[in-house]
């Protein structure tokens, strides 16, 4: 068991509201389009078009300027119809290459070469990549996701991986091994599978070194957000728990909302950790800024879920949670004191 002094030391290192607030770029007339965050999402298969919407809209509603969605060509029209706020890229041509199977292998290779080239070119313009919302387990979709992860690593870009992106990682752990700018967001089932891939007991109740800490260590310091009644966040060095109240209805899409909130927060953290000209606060280390970004995104996700649930109860849907992000942020950022405690900032 941890001693009182160890628990006090852990509490002292927990990200504060002031820490998270410092990451948020103030809106000024000097900003130009894109400085608030340029987010990319790879997902959106023919069968799953809603997930990238929830992820992308959460990113935009929190404050990102631009959201690019890389998807299957058969999903593009549906995703475009949800909102004109996304930039949709139907780079993944599963049907076209399937129709050519056994007929023109050179043309198929050329199509995939162009797809990979287009993805790599787009990633150079972005701050953060999200992998997984609506991805499916189609082998070609997963291959495109794998390529995107590899390119993002080459660009030293933060990566948020969820849903079937985690299926890819559990089968190919080396894909993110040691890449500390990756954030994995497993639910209880996905967490168990990732633990199995690393020979870790997911049910380990060791308070000094819980399973989430062991899993992060096993992945070489990749940030793990173990979603549950309490969200546990670890970078292999410490564990932070986010326990503010959330909604009781678990509608599909709430995990995708978290990935969008994480993407925007990590984009802000990336900018902040590189800002040596910040006159108000010295630039934070990239590691501390990333953990703070993850903590704050989990807090916001749970609070917006709670607010939506209060209004709609059993009928609440993830689209209702999205609607709470903007209004909540007015209280959370615009009205809260810069040095407020989390509870004061959350509840006003």
Residue 315, annotated ligand binder? no
Residue 314, annotated ligand binder? no
| Separation CA 121–CA 206 (nearest Å) | 45
Residue 249, annotated ligand binder? yes
Strands (E), 193-311: 223-226, 231-234, 239-242
Residue 36, annotated ligand binder? no
Residue 102, annotated ligand binder? no
**300, 331 contact by CB (below 8 A):** no
Residue 193, annotated ligand binder? yes
Residue 246, annotated ligand binder? yes
**126, 38 contact by CB (below 8 A):** yes
Alpha carbon of 207 to those of 2, 6, 236, 238, 274: distances in Å?
A: 7, 11, 14, 12, 35
DSSP secondary structure code for residue 336 in this structure: S
Residue 44, annotated ligand binder? no
* Nearest in space to 74 (alpha carbons), one of 100, 99, 45, 42: 45
| Separation CA 137–CA 168 (nearest Å) | 8
Residue 168, annotated ligand binder? no
Q: How open is the CA angle 17-239-298, to the nearest 5 degrees?
A: 45
DSSP letters, 241-269, are EE-S---S---TTHHHHHHHHHHHHHHHH
Residue 38, annotated ligand binder? no
Helix, strand or coil for residue 136? Answer: coil
Residue 134, annotated ligand binder? yes
Residue 164, annotated ligand binder? no
Residue 23, annotated ligand binder? no
Residue 256, annotated ligand binder? yes
- 249: tokens are 């209805």
Residue 227, annotated ligand binder? yes
Residue 275, annotated ligand binder? no
Residue 188, annotated ligand binder? yes
Residue 160, annotated ligand binder? no
Residue 250, annotated ligand binder? yes
Residue 230, annotated ligand binder? yes
List, as residue ranges, the binding site: 134, 187-193, 227-231, 246-256
Binding-site annotation, residues for ATP? 227-231, 246-255
Annotated binding site for (6S)-NADPHX: 134, 187-193, 256
């Amino acid at each position: 068991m941890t001693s009182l002094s160890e628990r006090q030391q852990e509490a002292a290192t927990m990200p504060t509201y002031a820490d998270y607030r410092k990451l948020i770029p103030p809106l000024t007339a000097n900003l130009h389009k894109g400085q608030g965050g340029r987010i990319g999402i790879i997902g959106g298969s023919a069968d799953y078009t809603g997930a990238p919407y929830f992820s992308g809209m959460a990113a935009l509603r929190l404050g990102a300027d631009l959201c690019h969605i890389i998807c299957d060509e058969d999903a593009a029209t549906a995703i475009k119809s949800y909102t004109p706020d996304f930039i949709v890229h139907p780079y993944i041509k599963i049907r076209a290459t399937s129709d050519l199977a056994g007929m023109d292998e050179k043309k198929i290779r050329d199509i995939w070469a162009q797809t990979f080239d287009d993805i790599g070119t787009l990633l150079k313009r972005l701050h953060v990549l999200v992998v997984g919302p609506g991805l499916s387990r189609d082998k070609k979709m997963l291959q495109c996701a794998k390529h995107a992860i590899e390119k993002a690593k080459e660009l030293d870009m933060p990566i948020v991986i969820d849903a079937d992106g985690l299926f890819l990682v559990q089968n190919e752990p080396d894909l993110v091994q040691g890449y500390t700018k990756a954030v994995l967001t497993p639910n209880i089932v996905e967490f168990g599978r990732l633990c199995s891939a690393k020979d870790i007991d997911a049910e380990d109740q060791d308070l000094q070194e819980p399973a989430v800490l062991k899993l992060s260590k096993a992945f070489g310091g990749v940030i793990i957000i173990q979603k549950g009644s309490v969200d546990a966040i670890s970078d292999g060095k410490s564990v932070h728990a986010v326990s503010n109240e959330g909604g009781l209805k678990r509608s599909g899409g709430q995990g995708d909302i978290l990935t969008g909130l994480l993407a925007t927060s990590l984009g802000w953290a990336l900018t902040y950790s590189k800002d040596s000209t910040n006159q108000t606060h010295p630039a934070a280390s990239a590691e501390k800024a990333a953990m703070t970004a993850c903590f704050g995104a989990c807090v916001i996700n749970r609070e917006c879920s709670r607010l939506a649930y209060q209004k709609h109860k059993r009928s609440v849907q993830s689209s209702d949670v999205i609607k709470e992000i903007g209004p909540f942020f007015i209280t959370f950022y615009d009205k809260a004191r810069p040095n407020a405690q989390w509870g004061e900032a959350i509840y006003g």
